[in-house]
Chains A and B, each alone.
Chain A
Amino acid sequence: MVPVSYYLALAAILFALGALGVLIRRNAIIIFMSIELMLNAANLLFVAFARSFESLDGQIYVFFVIAVAAAEVAVGLALIVTIFRTKHSIDIDELSSMKG
Chain B
Amino acid sequence: MTADLILFFGLAAVAIGAALGMLLSKNAVYSALFLILNFATVAVFFLLLGAPFIAMAQVAVYAGAIMVLFLFVIMLLGAEQLLTSHKSGWQRPIAILLTLVLLVESIYLIFGRGRLLSQVAPVASDYASPEAIGELLFSRYLLPFEVTSILLLVAMVGVIVLIKKPKANN
- Are A33 and B22 touching (Cβ within 8 A)? yes
Which one of B86, B96, B107, B117 has the highest number of Cβ atoms from chain A below 10 Å of its Cβ? Answer: B117
Given A47-B46, A47-B51, A33 and B69 contact (CB-CB distance below 8 Å):
no
Which residue of B12, B53, B86, B106 is within 8 Å of A26 (Cβ)? B86
- Given known A5-B118, A66-B57, A69-B62, contact A25–B23 (CB-CB < 8 A): yes
Identity of the chain B residue whose Cβ is nearest the Cβ of A27 in the assembled complex: B82
The answer on a CB contact under 8 Å between B8 and A16 is no
B54 touches A62 (CB 8 A): yes
> Of B66, B73, B84, B110, which contacts A29 at CB under 8 A?
B73
Find B79's partner among A2, A19, A27, A51 (CB 8 Å cutoff). A27
Asked whether A98 is an interface residue with its Cβ less than 8 Å from the other chain, the reply is no
A68 engages B148 (CB within 8 Å): yes
Q: Give chain B nearest CB distance to A13 CB in angstroms.
A: 6
Instruction: Tell me the bound Cα distance from A19 to B107 in angstroms.
Output: 15
A9 within 8 A of B: yes
Chain B residue with the shortest CB-CB distance to A30? B31
B1-53 contacts to A (CB < 8 Å) = 1, 4-5, 8, 12, 15-16, 19-20, 22-23, 28, 31-32, 35, 38-39, 42, 45-46, 48-51, 53
Q: Give chain B's interface residues, CB within 8 Å of chain A.
A: 1, 4-5, 8, 12, 15-16, 19-20, 22-23, 28, 31-32, 35, 38-39, 42, 45-46, 48-51, 53-54, 57-58, 61-62, 65-66, 69-70, 73-74, 76-77, 79, 82-84, 86, 88, 91-92, 95-96, 98-99, 102-103, 106-107, 110-111, 116-123, 127-128, 132-133, 136-137, 141, 144, 148, 151-152, 154-156, 158-159, 162-163
